[in-house]
């Protein structure tokens, strides 16, 4: 994440590059340059600068969990005991390392974490929540919501 005070100034061309890359991280430099209306060499320099400045933090493949036999996705909110606040980082690492974890969010409000998980079935989800996460001594409570469908949205770029 880029600190507010060190945030680079982005012009319209940078925003176009970011928008296109957020939609298709595999777009060729030639196509990206054409869309942005700049030379290919300029495009490459700008993308590299956006990476160096921490604006672009990575490129990745988006994998469909169902293709791996993970047919059930859920969001689990977790509230920790008040005395466990000193364990936030360790507990976050624990959540990140669970095989079912897709994403972990540290929250403000009445819940401490939101965890997106993908599992084969309801039995695996029950085991994950009841027999794995809930048994951690820091956990005060959990709440689970099933995901029926998801959409990407514009990502604000």
Tokens in use for 105? Answer: 């969010």
Are residues 115 and 74 in contact, defined by beta-carbon separation less than 8 angstroms? no
Q: What would the pLDDT profile of 92-146 be if each residue is shown by its tens digit?
A: 999 999 999 999 999 999 999 999 999 999 999 999 999 999 999 999 999 999 9
CA distance 141 to 57: 33
User: Can you give the residue ranges of every domain in the chain?
Assistant: 9-52, 65-146
Predicted model pTM: 0.80
Which single residue is written with the structure tokens 């012009």?
Answer: 11
Which single residue is written with the structure tokens 């466990």?
Answer: 84
3-state SS assignment for residue 141: strand
Pick the CATH number of 9-52 from 1.10.10.10, 1.10.357.10, 2.40.50.140, 1.20.1600.10: 1.10.10.10
Q: Is the pLDDT of residue 1 over 70?
A: no
Q: How confident is the model at residue 154 (pLDDT cuts 50, 70, 90)?
A: low
Pick the CATH number of 65-146 from 3.40.190.10, 3.40.50.410, 3.30.70.920, 3.40.50.11900: 3.30.70.920
Contacts (Cβ under 8 Å, ≥6 apart) of 80:
87, 88, 91, 112, 113, 138, 139, 140
Rg (CA), the chain: 20
């Amino acid at each position: 994440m880029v600190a507010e005070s060190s945030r680079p100034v982005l012009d319209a061309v940078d925003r176009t590059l970011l928008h296109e890359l957020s939609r298709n991280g595999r777009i060729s430099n030639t196509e990206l340059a054409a869309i942005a209306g700049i030379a290919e060499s300029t495009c490459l320099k700008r993308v590299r600068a956006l990476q160096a400045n921490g604006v672009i933090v990575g490129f990745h493949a988006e994998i469909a969990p169902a293709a791996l036999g993970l047919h059930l996705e859920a969001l689990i909110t977790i509230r920790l005991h008040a005395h466990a606040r000193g364990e936030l980082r360790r507990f976050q690492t624990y959540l990140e390392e669970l095989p079912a974890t897709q994403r972990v969010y540290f929250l403000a409000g009445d819940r401490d974490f939101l965890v997106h998980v993908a599992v084969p079935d309801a039995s695996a989800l029950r085991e994950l929540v009841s027999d794995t996460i809930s048994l951690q001594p820091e956990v005060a409570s959990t709440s689970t919501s099933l995901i029926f469908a998801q959409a990407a949205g514009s990502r604000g770029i």
